[in-house]
Chains A and B, each alone.
Chain A
Amino acid sequence: MRMWDRIQEKLQILSDAAKYDVSCSSSGSKRSNDSKGLGHTTGAGICHSYTEDGRCVSLLKILLTNYCIYDCAYCVSRRSNDVKRVGFTVNEAVELTINFYRRNYIEGLFLSSGIFKNSDYTMERLVRVAKTLRTEHRFNGYIHLKTIPGCSEDLVKQAALYADRLSVNIELPSESSLKALAPEKNKTDIIRPMSYLSNGIEAYADEKKIIKSTPAFAPAGQSTQMVVGASPENDLQVMTIADALYKKYKLRRVYYSGYVPVSNDSRLPQLGTPVPMIRENRLYQADWLMRFYKFSLREIVDPKHPQLDLDIDPKLSWALRNLHQFPIDINRADYEMILRVPGIGVQSALRIVQARKHSKLDWDQLKQIGIAVSRAKHFIVCNSKERPRDISETVLRQQILQQSKYAATLTSQLSIF
């Protein structure tokens, strides 16, 4: 096979295998190009393109190899799966990255791998790719490295000195599911590097405040991923883990990946089972509420409501369960309370608080600011004679649902009290 055909084949196999790790972020790190090397990172990241499933493409996302000694049931590269096994050399991965980068196709590299020989051997090669990019090519673009579960602390430390972001996947929302579906993985192997990195990131960040020349140590922090829909846990269990990880290890992001069936293994949903995309969407919305809207976990899901509504978003769901707190006066209420109004996002809430210093706001001005008036009007009063009618939760829910973008797919799920 000619050289380029070989590369083409490897790229196809190894990017196809990597795509289920959904992290696409190229944000969180500010590397400048002082010495006229190649590249820099922007704090906010850039999505260079979007695939036809609507997901962003910002990094070259590949496995270094899809050889794997583990046999995780949900993974397309599991040992027992009959697929062609290939691997990039360190140089091939580096050259691809550099050439894509120079053409502005990507912000950088996302490098994962199947476990070849053992964790340390694999991790050492991942680190080598990152080190070569940084030191030999003076590459200042974004690098996201996976942490191989069970690898040594020394390798994790080296990885953090070259990469912007590191991640190790929780994989499943409970230890029992992990045991059942990924018997070679265990919770300790996953949590230990996460904990080590969390401490290291904090320590280096503290030192950098005093000594400016302290090297960067995973400046874009850590993230992780859970597959949802492959195992029976409910949303309360999923969000409890996410909440704990954010609080304990200060992760930047938790990703929730709707399970895409890859086999007819009896432990998992069969091929052809639809991907739980709406559930995944609601989980991300719940995640946003915790991180940006100052909601606590128990306000969103609790033992009485362990599963997020599919037909309405979690913020609206909370508002309907707490109608006694509405309507609020948009010209007087706290910022925190304005954030809780369905139809008002963080940007609009900030604008409202700024604008009302100059004049009392009415419906026209609120509309101009950009809130979803058709939704928010049930929950607020403003500088206008109109007041929302007193209506019950049921009626309100039906009214809003009729306008829902999911209305077509959810007719069977409207609850009737």
Chain B
Amino acid sequence: MDAYLVRKENHQPELTAAHLEIIPDQKKAERVWNGLKQKLSVTKRNEVYKCFLSELPEMEGILLMFVRHVFDSKHSVEKDYSNKSVLAVEQIAHKVYREKHRMEAFVRFQRTADDLYVSSIEPDFNVLPLIISHFQERYADQHWLIYDNRRNYGIHYNKDTFTVQEVRMEWEAEAHHEFLPASMCHEEEVVYQSLWKNYFQTINIQARNNRKLHIRHVPTRYWKYLTEKRSL
């Protein structure tokens, strides 16, 4: 029997196909995951998780194919790149990994008047869970908040309890822009943003200008949250 898995909102009913709604079942999920633990390395399991976070429409279908292939095979198929689903899982996981890496690079904190470092982002994939440990270790001695404006949730770190929590915000109209207004910021914030922007423009070597290369590395969809791209 050839089954295909899609998220409810992506489902297009077909004439010749029967459809069945799957209700999430914790016990069954654990059974499958434990089974995968027997057959897959930690690395590969992490890839499956990353693939899941991609939220791509074809993601569920690929994961189903992959999991069935894993259970159907006696030997490890992790490196069997001739199989479409094995390759797809790795490639999607890699895309998600790259987006995680991009967010670690592109998050720009603004210091508020209350000494909270705030940042807004709109990642292509749901990478907030993947960037927690990086920011928690790096900014252990400052309160910070990173908010995913596309998915409307964020992560908040408290430097006194050393813990990270998931948060949902009801933004005041004036606060819900890419950057906080100066009135909400620490008195030095405007200066440091200006210094950074100045620095960024100064270090460019005009004789080597290469806009294509520039945009390939920093796609325009990320510009609105980058301090150095702000018109100050």
Contact = CB atoms under 8 A, between A and B. Distances in A.
Interface of A: 4, 7-8, 11-12, 15-16, 18-20, 32-33, 36-40, 42, 46-57, 60-61, 96, 99-100, 102-105, 138, 258, 260, 274-275, 277, 351, 354-355, 357-359, 361, 365, 368-369
Contacts of B200: 49, 51, 57
A51 B214 contact: yes
A137 B107 CA distance: 22
Contact of B137 (A40, A51, A104, A361): A40
B107 to A, nearest CB: 5
Nearest to A60: B199
B204 A52 contact: yes
A250 B228 CA distance: 37
B101 A46 contact: yes
A38 B141 contact: yes
Nearest to A9: B198
Contact of A54 (B202, B207, B217, B227): B217
Contacts of A32: 137
A36 B142 CA distance: 10
Given A15-B203, A103-B111, A359-B82, A53 B209 contact: yes
A103 B104 contact: no
A104 B109 contact: yes
Given A46-B105, A51-B204, A369-B81, A103 B210 contact: no
Interface residues of B, number: 55
B86 to A, nearest CB: 9
B210 A53 contact: yes
A103 B227 contact: yes
**Chain A to chain B: the 4 pairs with minimum beta-carbon distance, closest first:** A54-B213, A355-B81, A53-B208, A354-B79
B4 interface: no
B208 A11 contact: no
Given A51-B214, A96-B195, A358-B80, 17 more contacts: A11-B199, A11-B202, A19-B202, A36-B141, A38-B141, A46-B105, A49-B200, A52-B204, A53-B208, A54-B208, A54-B212, A54-B213, A100-B192, A102-B111, A103-B111, A275-B207, A368-B81
B208 A8 contact: no
A50 B204 CA distance: 9
A369 B82 CA distance: 8
A8 B81 contact: no
B184 interface: no
Contacts of A368: 81, 84, 87
A33 B109 CA distance: 19
Contacts of A369: 81, 87
Interface string B78-117: 0111111001000000000000010011111111000001
A104 B205 contact: no
A51 B203 contact: yes
Contacts of A275: 207-208
B188 interface: yes
Given A47-B217, A104-B108, A355-B80, A260 B199 contact: no
Nearest to B107: A104
B79 A358 contact: yes
22 contacts: A4-B191, A8-B194, A11-B195, A11-B202, A19-B202, A33-B138, A37-B140, A42-B104, A42-B134, A49-B106, A51-B214, A52-B211, A53-B210, A54-B216, A105-B227, A258-B208, A260-B207, A260-B208, A275-B208, A351-B79, A354-B81, A357-B79
